[in-house]
Structure 1
């Protein structure tokens, strides 16, 4: 058995150089903006936004190591204005010090305001990490002084590369015979979180004497028994919100309220819960019940005004309503299909007939020529192709199988017969 006094595997495997980082090539690859910043030595203040376990903290450490600047760290969970000011005072002695703040979205306005002057003057270079959309959680004054870089979830190949690297390079694991015979359970439980994945691998190896053969059954058995062990870094926060969302998506109001209560009891940020329900109302319910989005949006506004403990009642009402609503992801699928086509076809030219023509020159170039104004026709509709020529006849939106969207399908059939079944 391995000793228990060593740092966690995820920490032992933390990359020290950009070339060791798995994933985020769009930021750290040969032409990536962060690599270029390191090469020039000109590091801007930045917010690293992405899901847990994809490299936010690692990138901050690599930047500090590469540019050889003093590096200070704070966690927004347990740091206050006093801690910020102490770091700023230290940074005044070493200009351009880097201050890394994990979970910066948990800082309140006064804490974020305490950073403003130092960032403006260049006393510190701020690197904030957040799993939440910084447009909502970082105040505009501070956000305007930072670049926002979005980190992407790790894919299956990248996650397995992390595992293989650990087995081959970690001083302790490479001394043991470890075979990954099946890996789906590893990926499912880790949820794309590289840190959680490595800690789960370590848990398995710690729990098995002699040779280790990792199978899905073994992973599930040990994970269920030792959830708290591999949940060292607070990942249960994400497990509970995942269970909450999946319960609503699965139309189970009882499970939804149970996981909501778990979050409320744990002191979860009321806005975090409400925002997730706003997203779900559109992604998983959509036009099957358009009122769901109205309900969720009003809930978000209400709980911001009310706060705990009464906000729990408003959250519960909304969660029950969403769980009890008919479900459709048709709009979610439509935008994904459209974005995939754009990635494949690029920026196709907009048809001349529907281009804007504010000047005489544009009109002479036939901008707007042939446009048919729908309200001038019977039923306020005219059969006209609005997509680029290369995409004529393409259908992105396919109404869901529910009463509300069946009505939409019937309506669309009367207009776009060839696209919707006639």
Structure 2
């Protein structure tokens, strides 16, 4: 077995009800009141973040708006303001960095810090955690509470941060893992969702104690990859990479929940084009090419649809949009004229532009060379104009009838948008 960390090593900070707390911080009239954050202002959507006042009524992420109003008639429903959440994220990160360097930003509301030297002693670690909490409240915002977990490994610190909310501080000593976690449910562990819980149950594992008692190779078999073995070691207190942690950029994507007016296929197609145009801007900013486009949708009926298009590596908007136009008719071919609840696009097969090797025969064709140069100049000129005069100053095709705030950058659970993305 890999060696366990003999001392406290990680401090993991989780911001409580982050989106809703930022709204309460920015709008004093919302403080102390139940708040639900929506992806867009529509009765046909669901809650993406709830304040603790709202959670007291049973409202949580995924609660439909109509149900939320029934549970709490006084709930304040506000559309998400992702640029504001990113702004506060950077303010909070800067404040944490005043007290201890940040080793890893897990998401917009989670950071991990490595304890060094005397900080690894329990009294010093707890004092540091309280300093960080007080600094955020005093210097960033009084509504921005956080829960902090301290443990010998990052996995344990993450789990500890979830054990007491809101405004918690939990320490798991090296000798307490995995036993300290035996009172938790499997779903309480970071990295175990509904599907993985079913797989564990099918393998005869129904508790954290059961999981800790199997062999690491057995965990690998259940997960179907080395991730299971890493998870098992994390449970034992060994410092291994967090479940699902990705260090390299493998894809670029955007998705949106559609308001009712944009749910017919033609209107949804225009939104998909807009999302793909945004992804193409990011692709060029990162200096990458893509060779696969995945277009996906969720229908009002609950059915899903997706299609994959492959092409020569490119970063130009014209061939990417052409690939979308070729693939979109498959939606109506399979489902008639459905109403779409959500649409998404993902670019895969990313590689640095400097590594792109075009087809030898194509490069010998002057017409091909001329066309590629024109496409590159066109995409570059569009990016320049949109940066200078604002997003959507110039774009290919029709502009969907959506608010720019709706079509702008959004915060994913594991990706924090760059500030420039809010003007793409």
TM above 0.5, yes or no, is no
Highest CA radius of gyration, 1 or 2?
1
Answer 1 or 2: which has greater strand percent. 2
More RCO (CA 8 Å, sep 6+): 2
Of Structure 1 and Structure 2, the greater helix share is in 1
